[in-house]
């Protein structure tokens, strides 16, 4: 999905969150965290390293 899509959904990372937890919140399945990682490779280098305040696209 293109980054300028106005219908794209975003999530601002909160303290203590992981990509798995975010994947579970939006998809119901924490194993789908690579989807979020792949969609945010421009801001994430490692799926285990996300920082509070980061704005992640939820595809």
Partner 1 sequence: MRIANLFVALAATTLMLAGCASQKEPAEKALAQVESSLAEFRADAEKYAAEELQAVEGSIAKMKASVANKDYSAVVKAAPALNSTIASLRETVATKKADADAMMAAAEAEWTDLSAKVPQMVEAIQSRVDTLGKSRKLPKDMDKATWETVKTDFETMKTEWTDASSQFASGQAGEAVRKAREVKSRGDMILSQLGMTPS
Give the total of residues touching partner 1 (CB under 8 A).
Answer: 18
Residues 59 and 37: beta-carbon distance below 8 Å: no
Nearer to partner 1, 36 or 50 (CB): 36
Phi, psi at residue 12, to the nearest 5°? -95, 125
* Number of neighbours of residue 19 by Cβ within 10 angstroms: 23
List the interface residues with partner 1, window 1-59 (CB under 8 A).
Answer: 1-2, 5-10, 24-29, 31-32, 35, 59
The residues that touch partner 1, with contacts defined as CB under 8 A, are 1-2, 5-10, 24-29, 31-32, 35, 59
């Amino acid at each position: 999905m293109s980054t300028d899509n106005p219908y794209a959904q975003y999530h601002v990372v909160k303290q203590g969150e992981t990509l798995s937890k975010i994947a579970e919140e939006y998809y119901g399945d924490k194993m789908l965290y690579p989807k979020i990682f792949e969609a945010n490779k421009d801001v994430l280098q490692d799926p285990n390293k996300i920082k509070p305040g980061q704005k992640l696209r939820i595809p």
